[in-house]
A = this chain, B = another copy of it.
Amino acid sequence: MKNYFSSNFKLGVLGGGQLGKMLLTETQKFDIYTCILDATYEAPCAQICNEFHLGDLMDFDTVYNFGKKVNLLTIEIEHVNIEALQKLEEEGLEIYPQPSVLKTIQHKGKQKDFFVKNNIPTSPHKRFTSLDQLKKETLAFPFVWKSAQFGYDGTGVKIVKNQNDLNSLTNTDCIVEDLIPFKNELAVIVARNKNGETKTYPVVEMEFHPEANQVEYVICPARISENVAQKARNIALKVANSFEHIGLLAVEMFQTKDDEIIVNEVAPRTHNSGHYSIEASYTSQFEQHLRSILNLPLGNTDSKVAGIMVNLVGEEGFSGNVVYQNIEEILKMDGVTPHIYGKKQTRPFRKMGHVTIVNNDLSEARKIAENVKNTIRVISK
């Protein structure tokens, strides 16, 4: 094994956002020297990593030159220059997840084709190179439209119900999927290292607001049967093994009305759906990502206690210097931990932090989570 701990080994990370910041907690714990590349000095990681490099993650030279300074490279965001990664890999740099995997996942069309080719259950889809091409096709409403690249947090995804919706879409490379009615939206995080060792985390469930159709709570464990949970974990594992993925892979899935599991999409990194693991799991997803990419033994993915995660997003109507109103009220509640990402400016719907609620009793945690959600407000002063 290489000596990563208090050594001259340098880990490079593309991206310095909140996922990078929570990874730094783990590199600090293990004293692994970490270099971050991000486009802004305002990035949450900028002041707390060993070395911060300023630059555009989509620029070939910037990514290539950064890669030459480190001993192993990983990502906290998948929108990076893959050509630079491929050249670095050819020149011998270890990069996890592998550039070839990132390339497939970066493009939702290629990602879907990969699922089909590897017999991974997913909703039927068609690929189009532009909206114009799509419009020539006769498609039955409703359907799901996804921009092939650069969508995040629900941007680049639309349910198209009629001709009007169709006309509002961006003219870009895209895919169209059947709209599958589902009971539950689930996710499973898989860790896989170079030795091929794998571990799956328990299934989490996204609970939606009954009217707004927005995820309100990420709940672990999902309130589903053991049978369905096992099926979901097996399918997630199959996805990771099919990619021969190294690192963390978050697999988003639907549980259909007849209890089938179909894969929606994957993210090749630590994921919002795994934030609960910091407080609830024996091994947090961030530590597990490190273990995976460094080919260390994987940690126990079981939970110590039930966990629920609530995102802290900027409230509508507020822009400017952020204030976390009533944060002291939620700190009074049992088992409540706010994570503040360090973005100084709030904007409507901007992800500013999250709150984890842990408890021995999931239904008690669920009550406290609702109380948290109704109490804290992300506003500006």
Which residues of A are at the interface with B, using a C-beta cutoff of 8 A?
1, 3, 5-6, 21, 24-25, 28-31, 44, 47-50, 282, 287, 291, 296-297, 299-300, 304-305, 322-324, 327-328, 331-332, 334-335, 337-344, 358, 381
Contact = CB atoms under 8 A, between A and B. Distances in A.
A291 B6 contact: no
29 contacts: A1-B328, A3-B323, A5-B324, A5-B327, A5-B340, A6-B342, A6-B343, A6-B344, A21-B28, A24-B28, A25-B28, A28-B48, A28-B342, A29-B338, A29-B339, A30-B340, A31-B340, A31-B341, A47-B49, A48-B49, A282-B335, A282-B358, A296-B331, A297-B328, A297-B331, A297-B332, A299-B331, A304-B304, A304-B305
Contacts of A297: 328, 331-332
Contacts of A282: 334-335, 358
Contacts of A322: 6
A313 to B, nearest CB: 14
A294 to B, nearest CB: 9
Contacts of A344: 6
Contacts of A343: 6
A114 to B, nearest CB: 32
Nearest to A360: B304
Number of copies of this kind of chain in the complex: 2
A335 B282 CA distance: 6
B300 A30 contact: no
A340 B296 contact: no
Contacts of A24: 28, 48
Contacts of A5: 324, 327, 338, 340
A296 B328 contact: yes
Contact of A342 (B21, B31, B335): B31
A368 B6 CA distance: 24
A381 B5 CA distance: 13
A82 B151 CA distance: 56
Contact of A300 (B304, B327, B334): B334
A331 B282 CA distance: 12
Chain B CB within 10 Å, residue with most, of A5, A21, A327: A5
Contacts of A331: 291, 296-297, 299
Nearest to A32: B340
A327 B334 CA distance: 35
A323 B8 CA distance: 12
Given A25-B29, A31-B44, A300-B334, 5 more contacts: A3-B381, A5-B338, A5-B340, A31-B342, A287-B337
